[in-house]
Amino acid sequence: MSVIGILTAGGDCPGLNAVIRGVVTRATEVHDAEVVGILNGWEGLMRGETRPLERDDVRGILGRGGTILGTSRMDPYVHGDGYASCEPTIRQNGIDSLVVVGGDGTLHSALRLADEGNLPIVGVPKTIDNDINGTDVCFGFDTAVQVASDAIDRLVTTAESHNRVMVVEVMGRTKGWIATYAGIAGGADAILIPEVPYDLDDIVDILKARHRRGVRYSIVVVAEGVPPPPGYEPLKHRTDAFGFERLGGVSYQISDAIEDRTGFETRVTVLGHIQRGGSPTAFDRVLATRLGVAAADYAVEGRSKVMAALRGDEIVPIPLEEACAETRGVPFDRYEAARTFFG
Ligand code: F6P
């Protein structure tokens, strides 16, 4: 009987439990395989922390946020000796194939591990940032966009009552997917993303023009990874225990710069982890379930160094190398479409 190990690593993401449920149910019910859950991402693989996963263990988790396996940013190549750190857990549990659910950094380590240990590994792309190459969309992104656009809707009404500018900061690290999509969905008056340099003068002109037309509010959506406005120093971000930089806060600088140059009262909302917590949307539940089912199939078939990806309406296996080749930014024409509605 084949044994599939599964781990979830990196920042959590709505839909992780749906993937776990998909893998476990498909593996046990259709392929008569066993599944071993590895706790807290790579950390569990390095420290031998595992639990068996059976069908009953994954009932009722489809719509639950987070991950029942736990996650961390520990990495076998940064905090251990690569495959040597993981081999005992793999051997002791008789793991034939490993399903790794993670973002860019996690998938890079998965690729190295597959090469070094000659271990069949199947990747599943996970991140609210939506920046993994080779898949049309990552699960979790839709939920994050929904949360952010709901927040914008709420901010519009209070902004309008007070005649204010609202600067809304969203996650995404070096990419502006959440900002662009939430901005479009929320009808933002300006969207600032790392992929497209911004000119503060343009933003100020947009806001002033709105005021001249008698509009009593403006919404500026800012991706957390944009540079500070002219005259402001880049923020010094703290790092977590794994050396991962904690972004966030540039919107306060942008808000100050806007207020100083327009004279309009301006407020900041940093949405933060609200975007990542809680129940996944129906779209993310379906996508994550399909990815989990496909990952179980690929693992049982003995495929290695592939990632389950969404292409059009199909889930297909793509080379993990392709997923790791680069991260995917917002195409300029997508941003241009959003810019049509600025002001
Ligand atoms: O990569 C996902 C993400 O949510 C980013 O958008 C964000 O910058 C980061 O993780 C936050 O990480 P943490 O949960 O460690 O603060």
For residue 119, the tally of other CB atoms under 10 A from its CB is 20
Mean pLDDT of 17-43: 98
Q: Same structural domain for residues 228 and 169?
A: yes
Q: Which residues contact 220 (CB under 8 A, 6 or more apart)?
A: 165, 166, 167, 168, 188, 189, 190, 191, 192, 203, 207, 254, 258
- CATH code of the domain in which 147 resides: 3.40.50.460
- For residue 242, the model assigns a pLDDT of 84
Q: Is residue 341, in this structure, part of any structural domain at all? A: no
Q: Is 195 in the pocket of ligand 1 (CB under 6 A)?
A: no
Mean pLDDT of 10-26: 98
Give the CB-side neighbour count of residue 317, counting CA atoms within 13 A: 18
Beta bridge partners, 166, equal 219, 267
The Cα–Cα gap between 120 and 97 comes to 5
Would you call 303 helix, strand, or coil by DSSP?
coil
Q: Same structural domain for residues 148 and 22?
A: no
Confidence of residue 36 (pLDDT cuts 50, 70, 90): very high
Tally of structural domains, the chain: 2
Q: Same structural domain for residues 59 and 24?
A: yes
Nearest to 40 by CA among 198, 236, 242, 196: 242
Provide the mean pLDDT of the chain. 97
Residue 11 has pLDDT above 90, yes or no: yes
* pTM of the model as a whole: 0.97
Strand ordering across the sheet containing 165-170? 190-192, 218-223, 165-170, 266-270
- Domain end call among 276, 310, 333: 276
With the most atoms of ligand 1 within 8 angstroms of its CB, the residue from 131, 235, 242, 246 to mutate is 246
Beta bridge partners, 311, equal 314
Q: Is 126 in the pocket of ligand 1 (CB under 6 A)?
A: no
Q: Same structural domain for residues 89 and 195?
A: no
- The predicted-structure confidence for 158-178, as pLDDT tens digits, reads as follows 999 999 999 999 999 999 999
- For residue 243, the model assigns a pLDDT of 85
Nearest to 309 by CA among 134, 54, 72, 122: 134
Domain interval for residue 78: 3-140+280-324
Helices (H) and strands (E) in the chain, counts: 11, 11
- CATH code of the domain in which 309 resides: 3.40.50.450
Residue whose structure tokens are 């656009």: 149
- The predicted-structure confidence for 203-216, as pLDDT tens digits, reads as follows 999 999 999 999 99
Q: Same structural domain for residues 220 and 320?
A: no
Mean pLDDT of 249-264: 98
DSSP state of 56: G
Mean pLDDT of 268-288: 98
Q: Same structural domain for residues 209 and 318?
A: no
Cα–Cα–Cα angle for 80, 83, 84, rounded to 5 degrees = 70
- For residue 306, the model assigns a pLDDT of 98
Q: Is residue 245, in this structure, part of any structural domain at all? A: yes
- Give the residue, by CA position, lying nearest to ligand 1 atom 8: 173
Q: Same structural domain for residues 125 and 197?
A: no
Q: Single out the catalytic residue among 96, 129, 131, 189.
A: 129
Asked about 129 being catalytic, the answer comes back as: yes
The Cα–Cα gap between 19 and 9 comes to 13
Q: Same structural domain for residues 156 and 264?
A: yes
Atom of ligand 1 nearest to the CA of 240: 15
Mean pLDDT of 17-26: 98
CB 75 within 8 A of CB 104: no
